[in-house]
Amino acid sequence: MSANNLPPPSTVVGMLRDNGFNSVRLYAPDSDALAALAGTGIGVIVGAPNYVLPEMASSASAASAWVRANIAAHPDVSFRYITVGNEVAGSDTQYLVPAMENMHGALAAAGLGDAVKVTTAISQATIAVHVPPSAGEFADESKPFLLPVLQFLERTGAPLLANLYPYFVYTYKAAGDMDVSFMLFTAAGTVVQDGEYGYQNMFDASVDAVHAAVERLGVSGVDVVVSETGWPSAGGEEASVENARTYNQNLVSHVGKGTPRRPWKVETYVFSMFNENLKEAGVEQNWGLFYPSTDRVYPITFGK
């Protein structure tokens, strides 16, 4: 995380357990964090950071060494996914599938191929059309690299991870001039009617739009995991403690119900655990559920 004032991993893992979290995402392997997570039963997504992709893509032995050091060395950690890169863009996308293939092979060689899936996390910027969800489509510049990624996921049975932020859809006017209530799960009724399906919030619309975009590329059977979502408590338009609490509490209460097209639980990760003081000032420093002191930014009930 981009902060230099956070509590030690053992304290953070205690907070996860006390608040009913059953999964956590690490953007890079951290031996102390993984040691603290061992034996807890908390599911872990761990990232192979963007900067390692060129080496992972060109060297199967580098991927094997990474798996030995960061996965096999922690047998008591409940790993769920390895994310090969986060929001990879531009020329670096050429490394994605080769790196994923090598990572997949390394896991198989270590006897972990059935337990841990290899995937990547895409940016909301890859989605060109959000509403209506049935018209969901990836941006033209994203399609050439996403198609082989999706074909890999289809073949290996892994989900696509998507970082989805109704906050940015609202502030960037990515879906037109919609009321903030549609973003916060507080709209009084259907806002977007899409054939037989009615949408009362942008989260559901975005999830179903990603599914539609995947299918539009001719790929089926790939699930979507929301690997980041949240609302800032300060620093920008409609960024307030009350709106952050409203969004995240409603999110926690809602994801178990699924979307209009897929009425079953959406695996979802709230961003982020803490406010991060080394990020750019403004919105970027204010996504946390907790202050580094471990105090809550606002009251919220998670899994208990």
What is the rounded CA–CA span in Å between residue 298 and residue 243?
A: 10
Tokens of residue 126, six digits: 């890859």
Q: Is 101 helix (H, G, I), strand (E, B) or coil?
A: helix
**Positions marked active-site:** 87, 228
Q: Is 225 helix (H, G, I), strand (E, B) or coil?
A: strand
CA 240 to chain centre: 22
What is the rounded CA–CA span in Å between residue 275 and residue 287?
A: 6
What is the rounded CA–CA span in Å between residue 77 and residue 36?
A: 9
| C-alpha Rg value of the chain to the nearest Å | 19
- Cβ neighbours of 18 (radius 10 Å): 10
Give the containing element (helix H, strand E) for 274: none
**Is residue 23 a contact partner of residue 44, using CB atoms and an 8 Å limit?**
yes
Q: Is 197 helix (H, G, I), strand (E, B) or coil?
A: strand
CA angle 231, 127, 181 (to 5 degrees): 35
- Cβ neighbours of 101 (radius 10 Å): 19
What is the rounded CA–CA span in Å between residue 261 and residue 205?
A: 10
